[in-house]
Amino acid sequence: MQLNLQGPSLMPESGGAPDSLVVLLHGVGADGNDLIGLAPYWADDLPDTAFFSPHAPFPCDMAPFGRQWFSLMSFDPDRVLAGIRQAAPILDSYIDGLLAAHGLAADRLAIVGFSQGSMMALYTAPRRATPLAGIVGFSGALYGGATLADDIRAKPPSLLIHGEDDGVVPFPSLQAAHARLKSVGVPVKAVARPGLAHGIDEIGIDLAGAFLLAALTKKAAAIAHAEASC
């Protein structure tokens, strides 16, 4: 199946067909190579998981290199939201294509996003028809919150991690996103990282890994429990 986005990937350590997928969404001015480096940190605990890090669909309009999910030439919230809405169907189609290509249900795929990628995940995933396994959002923000109560169709568990010294996406975005998601029934946890700027630290990587392990192995654990009870 031809997917509408391309980028690096890491296949399961087990060598078999994946039983779960993690999609990594990079920030503005980067590309899929930026986040695929996170996959080896989590691959040992998720040996049957495949990791995909697509390049965002548009060339970065603020630099002669890199990609973007939407333009940040203007920080006007309405223009940012319009850009996210333009990119959301592209991301949706990519997710649908990955799931179909590997014969997996939506609850076998989790998203990890950084900055713009986190914004894309937090907008797109709750508006999908069926819930994904989970969302990890590093240094992001929630756009479209004003209509979320009307638009929401799924409530994937979410982990938000944000540096208190973030000079790019303001730290108060963390609590704002947490409060809004919680208000519409999304299971969400917010973690503040003291001293961290706009980035991902080792503690954040560990927290994300534990979250992904729980999100992507709960189905297998439930099956094993049922079989043990028979």
Residue-wise pLDDT for 111-130, tens only, equals 999 999 999 999 999 999 99
CB 209 within 8 A of CB 41: yes
> Is 53 known to be catalytic?
no
Least Cα distance to 195 among 167, 228, 220 occurs for: 167
Q: Which of 19, 53, 166, 178 is catalytic?
A: 166
Which residue's structure tokens are 């923000």?
Answer: 141
pLDDT at 222: 40
Q: Which of 20, 115, 118, 173 is catalytic?
A: 115
Q: Region 96-103: what's the mean pLDDT?
A: 97
CB 84 within 8 A of CB 122: no
pLDDT at 218: 66
Least Cα distance to 69 among 143, 173, 11, 128 occurs for: 143
Q: Region 146-151: what's the mean pLDDT?
A: 96
In the three-class reduction of DSSP (H, G, I as helix; E, B as strand; rest coil), residue 37 is classed as helix
Q: How confident is the prediction for the chain on average, in pLDDT?
A: 93
- Helices and strands (H, E) in the chain, number of each type: 6, 9
Q: Where are the domains of the chain?
A: 9-229
CA distance 156 to 158: 6
Burial class (CB in 10 A: 0-12, 13-18, 19+), 13: middle
Q: Is the pLDDT of residue 227 over 90?
A: no
β 158-163/134-138 pair status: parallel
> Is 198 known to be catalytic?
yes
Which residues touch 222 (CB under 8 Å, ≥6 apart)? none
In the three-class reduction of DSSP (H, G, I as helix; E, B as strand; rest coil), residue 172 is classed as helix
Q: How many residues does the chain have?
A: 230
3-class SS string, 139-174:
CCCCCCHHHHHHHCCCCCCEEEEEECCCCCCCCHHH
Going across the sheet that includes 49-52, the strands are 9-10, 49-52, 20-25, 109-114, 134-138, 158-163, 188-193
CA torsion, ordered 128, 155, 134, 206, to nearest 10 deg: 150
pLDDT at 226: 33
Give 221's pLDDT tier (boundaries 50, 70, 90). Answer: very low
Give 63's pLDDT tier (boundaries 50, 70, 90). Answer: confident
Q: Region 181-204: what's the mean pLDDT?
A: 98
> Is 115 known to be catalytic?
yes
Q: Is the pLDDT of residue 1 over 70?
A: no
Which CATH number applies to 9-229? 3.40.50.1820
CA distance 174 to 181: 11
Amino acid (1-letter code) at residue 223 = I
CA distance 190 to 173: 11
